[in-house]
Chains A and B, each alone.
Chain A
Amino acid sequence: MADASLSVVGAPLRHDSAHLHVAGQARYIDDEPETPDLLHLAFGTSTHARARIVAMDLDAVRAAPGVVAVYTAADVPGANDVSPVAGDDRLLADGEVVWLGQPLFLVAATSRRAARQAARLGRIDYDAQEPILTVEQARAAQSLIEPTQRMARGDAVAALAAAPHRLSGQLAMGGQDHFYLEGQIALARPLEDGQVHVLSSTQHPSEVQHLVAHMLGRSSADVTVEVRRMGGAFGGKESQAALYAAAAALVVHHTGRPAKFRADRDDDMVQTGKRHDFVVDYEVGFDAEGRIAGLCLRLASRCGATVDLSPAINDRAMFHADNAYFLGDVEIVSERLKTNMVSATAFRGFGGPQGMLAIERVMDAVAGHLGRDPLAVRVANLYGPGRDVTPYGMVVADNIAPDLIARLRSDARYDERQAAVARFNAESAILKKGLALTPVKFGISFTTTHLNQAGALLHVYADGSIQINHGGTEMGQGLYTKVAQVVAQAFGVGLDQVRITATRTDKVPNTSATAASSGADLNGMAALDAAETIRARLADFCARTFGCEIDAVVFAGGEVQAGGERMPWATLCRRAHMARISLSATGFYATPDLHYDRAAHQGQPFYYFAYGAALAEVVIDTLTGEHRVLAADILHDCGRSLNPAIDKGQIEGGFLQGQGWLTSEELVWDAAGRLLTHAPSTYKIPTANDRPDHLHVTLWDGANHRPTIHRSKAVGEPPFMLANAVFSALGAAIAATCPEAGWPMLDAPATPERILAALARQRDGVRA
């Protein structure tokens, strides 16, 4: 069997729903027709961050117009739990509240307005306690979601003591709201005999299925969860969607009526988790070149009130605290603080950005201290021969970072532009420019090994049309298109022959979340496995029927060639069906070669690394603290891209989202633990105007050294961290006002206020 030409895979084919999106015909859950008996839901929520519930008087809620039912924890028939791992997220609070905004009771009403209005009428008596909100408070109380973790190699303290230069500093970085444009939503419907069907905007249908079943005291086989597409997710629908799905299922269970929970934007922002904010303390020892000899890094994150995915997220922060650099003797300590806030959760990069930003700050600070070009310091520290083992003991076998950086440096004219920026800054008193080039090395795989598996279900119909279903979910990343390309390629047919259907737990069971950038890697391979099963059956049928070798059967160009016979693909399918050949198959894939000893923090948690580098040029106004990103040049590694158009979109979108995290997106809580920035009026994500004036994306042209699906690489998360270049460039612009003072103490996000404060400190000569 010859390989079909790479006509479908690797082509910049359009998104499978393109024609529907532009005409408003692509259906999201809120677009489903509503039946007259549909109930609309809202939560009554806590007004304290930490309290015992003394009494709940819900009479006024029940009496409000339109209200059909009101439920509390006592009405949950099974487990009152919507957590991904630890069993500690209540659907409805039971006895105590641990964060402000936590759901206490659930209102089902005939309209959304009626439900939301009634939800405010609950009278709750609290026995309030002092909440733990800040890093200092959590440290003082030793309030942790799990013991502090340590990853180390050699003797960092001794190496520090012996190093010719030493430097210490601190960097704080804020969290981030996902602000998926489609908010959290679930629509549950009763089926016969107590079964429930749930449409859920979730990245993890299997988990929602298990939680709903458990919550109702039923089996997984009684619950079907389905999602065709999400209007964005970014990690915010990995574990957070379960709350709304469970609420809708609970109402279906009690009323026998369909129920929809569509969270209002402000409620969504208050009720769902965000990216972890971090405080990083570092102490670094280095030589005159800036090469690191020893590093002590302390990462502390506020995880919120429950465990959620925080252990894995903080692990990933540790895994990426090396980024592309060999750190010598190193100690990375990670504190996972438990605070009375909504539980922090997955967000594109999953802790990676925080770890990576920490080491990039160390590089900049070292360069600032030595008065060297930060890129020279970065290059001096890259992994290389004899310096190729990560702090967790994995060999960096595919180290393309040095070549990739060198290429971007020359293509984007780093040195020339750095000189131009220096000239500009020498002549400009008020406006200052900054330029930085930073790399990305991101580990691909779930660090929890068993999650690295996927399934697919493939049907070929007798008319030659093909339906593919897999466990991955579509949130705009183009996964469905990529998997369809893989299937079309396997049969040598056009993409229009392949229909991708909604992700459903009754088609492919026991799936992992679509996360960790693994969607195409895992589901593409599972789909290919299924396609190869059917292709082998067809080839065997052809060989028998037309008297040729199996290897002489070729699927290409919408036709099948078998020895001297040649026929359209559809004709073969019809004939195979008449000959009673099964044209349906499942496929499965499990990523090989992964192992990790979490207690020792040693092993091989990743199958491979995805690389990239970005050069960013910014200008700041030293009077107002405002800035603009003038230019970004990006070179990114997608291996052999499955679809360059989709991948470029992911790269640009990821970069811009990272830029938002580091510049304009600021979450503010008050002293009581109330989130103040819960709408786009106060929480600023990038607009079309924030996109750099010049944004140039190029794909690296190498193949994956691992046998991934068509040698491609994952692309969902890595580009997010390309935006670290923006943050470094802002630091460089501030440093330019007073270079003798070293690298500025600039925290993220670099709002005008923070830039002004950093400028003031820089003037006063405070060293980073």
Chain B
Amino acid sequence: MASLPPTAHVNGLPQALPDDPRRTLLDWLRHDLGLTGTKKGCDHGQCGACTVLVDGRRINSCLSLAALHDGDHIETIEGIGQPEALAPLQRAFVTHDGFQCGYCTPGQICSATALMAELKAGWPSAVSADVAARPNPTREELRERMSGNLCRCGAYSNIIAALEEVIANETTETGAPA
């Protein structure tokens, strides 16, 4: 029996991975699947514009080969929310003007989405005082954890403000620190 072709789930839909083993995940998403929300800023893993979620973790999709993602669940900005049904983080970016030119924005939002999960899972960062303790979502923590996503327009204050608001709302909703 022929084995199934290598497939990844992208925003919930199964997609056959490309034949070309050199195709980056970023190029596959943008050019083959037409998911152009994910941006290419440097193509070298240094700007964060291409951030997507793979099984919930954030990666720079320009640094990953599509063929390596057989069986993975990939989420892009299109999967996080559409203009008519925005996710809370996306709404917060709108309210706080978390962008100027907007080119870094999808990457920022994907990164922030994963960041919230990392905080929940208790992952420490380089600025966490106690790596064994539950990380506190201080502004310093958030800035450190977002420092892989460059914004040349310098919208960082508003990006962090948007993130803080969503984390604060989640905390009040669940009663637990995010």
Chain A residues engaging chain B, CB cutoff 8 angstroms = 14-15, 17-28, 30-31, 33-34, 178-183, 229-234, 264-266, 475-478, 645-646, 649-650, 652-657, 679-681, 685-689, 691, 693, 695
Determine which of A17, A27, A264, A685 lies in contact with B150 in the assembled complex, contact meaning CB atoms within 8 Å.
Answer: A685
Max chain A CB contacts within 10 Å: which of B34, B80, B154, B159? B154
Chain A neighbourhood of B98, CB < 8 A: 22
**Cα of A375 to Cα of B40 in the assembled complex, Å:** 45
With A14-B97, A680-B46: A649-B158 Cβ-Cβ less than 8 Å: yes
Once the chains bind, are A31 and B36 in contact (CB under 8 Å)? yes
**Cα of A27 to Cα of B83 in the assembled complex, Å:** 13
Interface residue ranges of B145-172 to A (CB < 8 Å): 146-160
Interface size class of B (residues with CB under 8 A): 35 or more
Chain B neighbourhood of A34, CB < 8 A: 31
Chain B neighbourhood of A645, CB < 8 A: 97
Residue B9, interface by CB 8 Å: no
Once the chains bind, are A476 and B101 in contact (CB under 8 Å)? yes
Q: How far is the CB of A665 from chain B (nearest CB, A)?
A: 11
Considering only CB atoms, which chain B residue lies closest to A14 in the complex?
A: B94
Determine which of B30, B49, B99, B148 lies in contact with A476 in the assembled complex, contact meaning CB atoms within 8 Å.
Answer: B99
Residue B82, interface by CB 8 Å: yes
**Cα of A412 to Cα of B156 in the assembled complex, Å:** 22
Q: A649-B97, A680-B46 are in contact. List 19 more A-B contacts (CB 8 A).
A: A18-B99, A20-B102, A21-B99, A22-B98, A22-B109, A23-B37, A23-B77, A24-B105, A28-B103, A180-B101, A182-B39, A229-B102, A476-B101, A679-B46, A680-B42, A680-B44, A680-B150, A687-B150, A687-B156
Max chain B CB contacts within 10 Å: which of A21, A27, A31, A264? A21
**Cα of A20 to Cα of B36 in the assembled complex, Å:** 12
Determine which of A21, A230, A680, A691 lies in contact with B105 in the assembled complex, contact meaning CB atoms within 8 Å.
Answer: A21
17 interchain pairs (CB within 8 A)? A14-B97, A20-B102, A21-B99, A28-B39, A30-B40, A33-B34, A180-B101, A181-B101, A181-B150, A181-B151, A182-B103, A183-B41, A231-B103, A265-B42, A266-B44, A478-B100, A686-B154
**Cα of A650 to Cα of B86 in the assembled complex, Å:** 25
With A19-B86, A181-B41, A181-B150: A680-B47 Cβ-Cβ less than 8 Å: yes
Once the chains bind, are A15 and B154 in contact (CB under 8 Å)? no
Once the chains bind, are B94 and A19 in contact (CB under 8 Å)? yes
Q: How far is the CB of B126 from chain A (nearest CB, A)?
A: 10
Residue B43, interface by CB 8 Å: yes
Interface residue ranges of B12-55 to A (CB < 8 Å): 30-31, 34-44, 46-47, 49
Q: How far is the CB of B50 from chain A (nearest CB, A)?
A: 11
Determine which of A27, A232, A681 lies in contact with B153 in the assembled complex, contact meaning CB atoms within 8 Å.
Answer: A232
Once the chains bind, are B37 and A25 in contact (CB under 8 Å)? yes
Determine which of B36, B81, B146, B154 lies in contact with A653 in the assembled complex, contact meaning CB atoms within 8 Å.
Answer: B154
Considering only CB atoms, which chain B residue lies closest to A655 in the complex?
A: B154
Q: How far is the CB of B167 from chain A (nearest CB, A)?
A: 15
3 interchain residue pairs of minimum CB distance: A24-B37, A476-B101, A231-B103
With A182-B39, A688-B143: A477-B154 Cβ-Cβ less than 8 Å: no
Q: How far is the CB of B83 from chain A (nearest CB, A)?
A: 4
Determine which of A24, A475, A693 lies in contact with B36 in the assembled complex, contact meaning CB atoms within 8 Å.
Answer: A24
Considering only CB atoms, which chain B residue lies closest to A679 in the complex?
A: B44
Determine which of B35, B40, B102, B156 lies in contact with A691 in the assembled complex, contact meaning CB atoms within 8 Å.
Answer: B156
Max chain B CB contacts within 10 Å: which of A15, A20, A23, A25? A23
**Cα of A649 to Cα of B41 in the assembled complex, Å:** 21
Chain B neighbourhood of A679, CB < 8 A: 42, 44, 46
**Cα of A22 to Cα of B100 in the assembled complex, Å:** 11
Q: How far is the CB of B53 from chain A (nearest CB, A)?
A: 13
Once the chains bind, are A231 and B47 in contact (CB under 8 Å)? no
Once the chains bind, are B99 and A15 in contact (CB under 8 Å)? yes
Once the chains bind, are B86 and A23 in contact (CB under 8 Å)? yes
Chain A neighbourhood of B94, CB < 8 A: 14, 18-19, 22
Residue B70, interface by CB 8 Å: no
With A179-B152, A657-B154, A688-B147: A22-B105 Cβ-Cβ less than 8 Å: yes
Q: How far is the CB of A187 from chain B (nearest CB, A)?
A: 13
Chain B neighbourhood of A25, CB < 8 A: 37, 82-83
Considering only CB atoms, which chain B residue lies closest to A476 in the complex?
A: B101
Determine which of B36, B47, B109, B156 lies in contact with A688 in the assembled complex, contact meaning CB atoms within 8 Å.
Answer: B156
Residue B104, interface by CB 8 Å: yes
Once the chains bind, are B47 and A181 in contact (CB under 8 Å)? yes
**Cα of A182 to Cα of B100 in the assembled complex, Å:** 13
Residue B78, interface by CB 8 Å: yes
Residue B137, interface by CB 8 Å: no
**Cα of A654 to Cα of B156 in the assembled complex, Å:** 12
With A19-B94, A26-B102, A230-B101: A476-B143 Cβ-Cβ less than 8 Å: no
Once the chains bind, are B144 and A23 in contact (CB under 8 Å)? no
Q: How far is the CB of B14 from chain A (nearest CB, A)?
A: 21
Max chain B CB contacts within 10 Å: which of A18, A183, A229, A233? A18
Chain B neighbourhood of A686, CB < 8 A: 154, 156
**Cα of A542 to Cα of B60 in the assembled complex, Å:** 59
Determine which of A24, A646, A695 lies in contact with B38 in the assembled complex, contact meaning CB atoms within 8 Å.
Answer: A24
Once the chains bind, are B152 and A22 in contact (CB under 8 Å)? no
Residue B135, interface by CB 8 Å: no
Once the chains bind, are A27 and B101 in contact (CB under 8 Å)? no
Q: How far is the CB of A446 from chain B (nearest CB, A)?
A: 23
